[in-house]
Structure 1
Amino acid sequence: MFDAIAPRYDVINTALSLGMHSLWRRKMVSSLELKPGFKVLDLGTGTADVALAIAKELAKQGGSKNIGKEAVIGLDPSQNMLSHGRKKVHKAGFSDKAVKLIHGDALNLTASFAEEANFDAVTMAFAIRNIPDRLRVLQEIFKVLKHGGKVAILELGEPTFAPARWFVRYCVPFIGSLLSGGARREYEHLEKSVMAFDSKRFAQQISDAGFQLQSITAMNFGSVNLFVATKAEAA
């Protein structure tokens, strides 16, 4: 589905979020409390906006764009999205060894990475609602995250403000279709998946996967939620 809209994905995101998506990403990256030398995995990386935001923060912390080999790994099932993401990584001045974008499945991370926990932090923005087995994704994240590491997940949900609900229900499919060149089906799916996402149930699944839920931050009348959790330190 996302292969078809990859060429215009960034423009559409900016329009549908009314330019707010950059702020939401910054809040997520800030919640990780990144330090030089950290290794971070971004799931559902798409065109690498979050991966680049993480890389820029690591560069800021370390004082150099030389942030280390595979400091940030972005994983996504869409090759077209990844192709656009790699162009953005190069344009931002990072090497493809420092910010590595790979094809893979969040439901089977151990197919892409070793069993041992390698990452200091894991992120996922606006992708978990598209995966039916969310608990399994969280369990996969748990496997690859170091003890004491953080997971931060941004996701859309049904707004509490009536005009915002109207915007999601009716404007999102129309604007998405218009800007994407006719991909109305994809943006009807977006509207339905947003309205169906149960943030309370997802919070419970985070705990069920073994994480310690730190916070849930609601933004934009509840239309966006940031879930932050930790994997307990080793005993």
Structure 2
Amino acid sequence: MPSTRGLLACGAVAGPLFILVVLVQDYTRAGFDPRRHPLSMLGLGDLGWIQIANFTITGLLFIAAAVGLWRSLRPGPGGTWGPILIGAYGIGLVIAGIFVTEPAWGYPPGAPADPPHVFGLSSVLHNVGAIVVFGSLTAACFVFTRRFAAYGDRRWAFACAATGVALPALLVGGTLASDGPADSGPVSLSLRAAALLGWGWTSLIAARVRASDAAGVRFTPVLDRQGLNRNNSAGGHSDANEF
């Protein structure tokens, strides 16, 4: 059975791996323009298998991390829903990888220059996967906000809340900034920014929990620590550490 630290390490490397593979493809794929083409379109064409594998492997790594989070964070605030939402996020990535989007905006080379007008089953399921990805990821941000706040870690709580607000803001902002369906640039750039932020945040969470687990830190909520401190002042003892 994989160790908890090993499972969390999967999550720590998943985000940087995904981003690196996308960046390499952005500037090496013939006919692909990251300023115009959403990153999902890397799954099209003769080399589309690379991005399909990137989505799928990254999703599986985050699912593994969700198992590690489940083991490490329960019981406690967010210890159930945090891992469940990260697992759902990983499943959404796998769905987005298996089912590809429609050719459009001149990519792959030879595709219509217009935006897609008809969406096949594969494209619909790809979009469902994307909704699961960003929906579960946004919800997870606020679950972890609550958890870090419960342990008195204001900096991480603020970072989680800010990420949870920024993700949908980026997606909505890209759509509003677009001058109609033919103008794919703002949507493409906003999706990349959301992926960089969201994937990176999830990997940081996995790395943060892994480091705490490796250090043998026991997670004690603020209210409980206050009670323990009162007991200590009355002659009791406690070895509880902060999150």
Name the structure with the higher helix share: 2
Structure with more relative contact order (C-alpha pairs < 8 Å, separation 6 or more): 2
Name the structure with the higher strand share: 1
